[in-house]
Chains A and B, each alone.
Chain A
Amino acid sequence: MSENNTRVIVITSGKGGVGKTTTTANIGVALANMGEKVALIDADIGLRNLDLALGLENRIVYDIVDVVEGRAKLRQAMIKHKQSQNLALLPAAQTRDKSAVNPAQMRQLIEEIRAEGYTYIIIDCPAGIEQGFRNATAGATEAIVVTNPEMSSVRDADRIIGLLEAQDLRNPYLIVNRLRPKMVKSQDMLAVEDVQEVLGSNVKLLGIIPEDEVIITSTNKGEPASATEGSLAGQAYRNIARRLRGEEVPFLDLEERSGFFTRLKGLFGNKK
């Protein structure tokens, strides 16, 4: 199908607001900083967000619909990231809706981006299972399902896994986002193993991202957490990028870093 080894990965979830855009931005930056040539596509047409996560919102001239409808060349629409030179974004249109692009056009677009020599094309999928989902998955050859350790999010993830299968995107990767180690320890929140058990063995765990304030502050700054050292979530995203590149990286012990104070409490045998 392809002339080179570009990996085309869609990041999806079914349920909204679980962290698809955050994940796309963080993995994209991490991969680019590791030397990969990365193109990110914001497929959430009408609800453009990936530009904000990357701090590129002021540099948009053309968008994905302009390219599809022939008003702009692909190269004119792709925005190069300032810090991460290897990273480029194809922004979503903000004033159109999902029907402005169809799956065949998406496939065509991805072939065009592929020909530019990118090693990774990562697609930020909109929430839902309708046309936006079909567009975002059309040209992908791999899928990452993002879920939160929470009932409705896991249920929707299961639905999405079924729909991905129907599109021949089998054995998707799984990212569990917004995990709270303390709540897992007290058995108030589903553990990653629970989520895996429920979703079945056809998903491969790719990473675990803790609930982390850094995600909010870094989104506010337009600098994905994975771009800088010092945060647990950023580290977790960098590990995901390394795993995607085939490296064997152990999962972070999120528990251990839950703070000096809790460990101290543990030391004195605090009962709860």
Chain B
Amino acid sequence: MPSLLDRLFGRVEKPAHTAKSRLKLVLMHDRADIPAPMMEEMRKEIIAVLSKYVVIDLEHLDVGIERAEGGVALVASIPIVRVNAEH
């Protein structure tokens, strides 16, 4: 709840403004909503590329979409076991 002072000085965010910022966020998320099969394909390809250089701990690998402050990000946490000796 905004305080009385906030309301007196018009520091309360207007409903239209709230709606606009909420919409912007939800649309960013909607637009980056990658279908599961595509996500899986992308994951496999990322692993394939990285495996040329490093050995990955597939058990603890995590790739996903995250809503960050400025927008939507593809966040990957890829634990490395060691450098790929064959490279």
**Which residues of A line the B interface, CB within 8 A?**
151, 154-155, 158-159, 162, 184, 186-191, 194, 197-198
Contacts and interface: CB of A to CB of B under 8 A. Distances in A.
Contact of A187 (B15, B23, B24, B30): B15
B54 to A, nearest CB: 36
Contacts of A159: 30
Contact of A197 (B14, B20, B26, B30): B20
Contacts of B17: 187
A198 B30 contact: no
Nearest to B24: A198
Contacts of A194: 16, 19-20
26 contacts: A151-B19, A151-B23, A154-B23, A155-B26, A155-B27, A155-B30, A158-B27, A159-B30, A184-B16, A186-B14, A187-B14, A187-B16, A188-B14, A188-B16, A190-B16, A190-B19, A190-B20, A190-B23, A194-B16, A194-B19, A194-B20, A197-B20, A198-B20, A198-B23, A198-B24, A198-B27
Nearest to A200: B27
B31 A155 contact: no
B: interface residue count bin: 10 to 19
Chain A binding surface, main DSSP class: helix
Contact of B31 (A151, A162, A191): A162
A158 B27 CA distance: 7
Most buried by A among B15, B23, B30: B23
A155 B23 CA distance: 7
Given A151-B23, A198-B23, A158 B16 contact: no
B58 to A, nearest CB: 33
B6 to A, nearest CB: 16
Contacts of A197: 20
Question: Which 10 residue pairs are nearest across A and B when measured between Cβ atoms?
Answer: A187-B14, A187-B16, A194-B20, A188-B15, A198-B23, A158-B27, A190-B16, A190-B19, A151-B19, A189-B16
Contacts of A184: 16
Contacts, number: 37
A187 B21 CA distance: 13
Nearest to B14: A187
B82 interface: no
Contacts of A151: 19, 22-23
Nearest to A150: B19
A179 to B, nearest CB: 12
A162 B15 CA distance: 27
Contacts of A154: 23
A158 B30 CA distance: 9
A194 B23 CA distance: 10
B45 to A, nearest CB: 22
Contacts of B16: 184, 187-191, 194
Contacts of B30: 155, 158-159
A198 B23 CA distance: 7
Interface in B1-25: 14-17, 19-20, 22-24
Contacts of A162: 31
